A and B are shown apart, each in its own frame.
Chain A
Amino acid sequence: MIEVNDIHKSFDDAHILKGITTSFQKGKTNLIIGQSGSGKTVFLKCLLGLFTPEEGTISYDGKIYNDLTDAEKRDLRQEMGMVFQGSALFDSMSVEGNVKFPLEMFTKQSKSEMQDRADFVLKRVNLVDAHHKFPSEISGGMQKRVAIARAIVMNPKYLFCDEPNSGLDPKTAIVIDNLIKEITEEYDITTIINTHDMNSVMEIGEKILFLKDGLKAWEGTNKEIFKTDNETVTDFVYSSDLFKKVRQMYIEERN
């Protein structure tokens, strides 16, 4: 579980995060939505410790980040996995090399143990015959899977995904969403996902945090987001006519 208490983050004179308080449960897929530029990535990078908020605290299962020593911070980092918006695979390494990389850097496992673990996670993300290909030789959807495999290879307690299905076709996007959800439940991970994809919101949004202009504008579940009367949320979520109609039908059906 991650608890965020009133964090602020600025760059020079631009105040990006203006005091966000929320919490993310273990074993659940937590989604962050909001317009482009609303501060989702900055917020996620604060959670990852890549950016330090000027004010406020973030705690990971009770451990407050700012109170940790450098060594403890490093240990905490190793409990985090991250899937970047553009996958961020190391393009000088093969798929297998990418997945093994954290193991080589941080564990004392033997070669065969690493191989087993890499085989296992690659199989878990349904990639069986791409071990020796390079990132530039595989499709965007496959790259995302490799990125997920690399993020979970160290058995993280916290998994962060920045728009894991942007640039993917709707079908592959759902496959990736479901994969993340399954992994989250299977390994009881606290998972936080930035997304633009309303499909994801409806499908896997066990908790949704809606950011607007650096503030929390709404939070709730995917069931609640259907019913909410909060206009900023409905404006954003049901911005397309199709979604507006779907919502109308849903409300009529209920009445």
Chain B
Amino acid sequence: MKSLILKEIDELIFGSLGIIIFISFFIGAVITIQTALNLTNPIIPKYLIGFTARQSLILEFSPTFVSIVMAGKVGSYITSSIGSMRVTEQIDALDVMGVNALNYLVFPKIIAMLFYPFAIAISMFVGISGGWIAGVFGGFLTSADFVEGLQLDFSPFQVTYAFIKTLVFAFVLATVPSYHGFYMKGGALEVGKASTTAFVWTSVVIIVSNYILTQLLLGQ
């Protein structure tokens, strides 16, 4: 079991870091540039650019948007790997041996996804760094302004909120695609279809639970 979990951590978490870092960096940069370009009124202080970058990255972009991307990457990997085991009777083989196949295949993925918040923390950090680089080297604001914005009105609960969301999304990312792979019927073509359906449902569940959690945790 331990080696299975390590294998899944490698596949699901480390295997996703590249794409997470890549999109976070550039989205962080673009958010900063967009904000800077739209804050043309000289009365509005420049540090609001850093503030906006921080808020959008920590509250929504890293937890939610990255999770939608992961629904595509991690989700389709999970659905197709379990689904192809279903169509080639490997799951039946586990059943015949008396191995609890659902447990054997899904549990390590859920445990591995407990490390997902670390990936999201990296996304936040890289995204903000991207914003800083784009803002400062693009000549939109000074480093001091950006850092001042980052520290403005900082509420630790917002970070807690972001990580509560992330954990829920991690669970969704491990289970919804597993369900679609495990209970699929048919052949290779259906594996592809199941991956697509799993992506759609994972995204829907993430979007809806994002709304519910935001209302519950931040709403009055």
Contact = CB atoms under 8 A, between A and B. Distances in A.
Interface of A: 45, 48, 50, 74, 77-78, 80, 82, 84-86, 88-91, 101-102, 105-106
A82 B93 CA distance: 7
Interface string B73-96: 000000000000100111011011
Nearest to B81: A92
Using C-beta atoms within 8 Å of the partner chain, give the interface range for chain B: 10 to 19
A91 B96 CA distance: 17
A77 B92 contact: no
B99 interface: yes
B43 interface: no
A86 B89 contact: yes
B89 A77 contact: no
A48 B89 contact: no
A84 B92 contact: yes
Contacts of B93: 82, 84, 88, 90
20 contacts: A45-B92, A48-B96, A74-B98, A77-B97, A78-B97, A80-B96, A82-B92, A84-B89, A85-B89, A86-B88, A88-B88, A88-B90, A88-B92, A89-B90, A90-B90, A91-B88, A91-B90, A101-B97, A105-B99, A106-B97
Interface residues of B, dominant DSSP = helix
Contacts of B85: 90
B90 A105 contact: no
B96 A82 contact: yes
Contacts of A84: 89, 92-93
A90 B89 CA distance: 9
Interface in B89-136: 89-90, 92-93, 95-99
Most chain A CB inside 10 Å of its own CB: which residue of B85, B92, B96, B99: B96
Contacts of A89: 90
- CB-based closest 6 A-B pairs: A77-B98, A88-B89, A88-B93, A82-B96, A84-B89, A74-B98
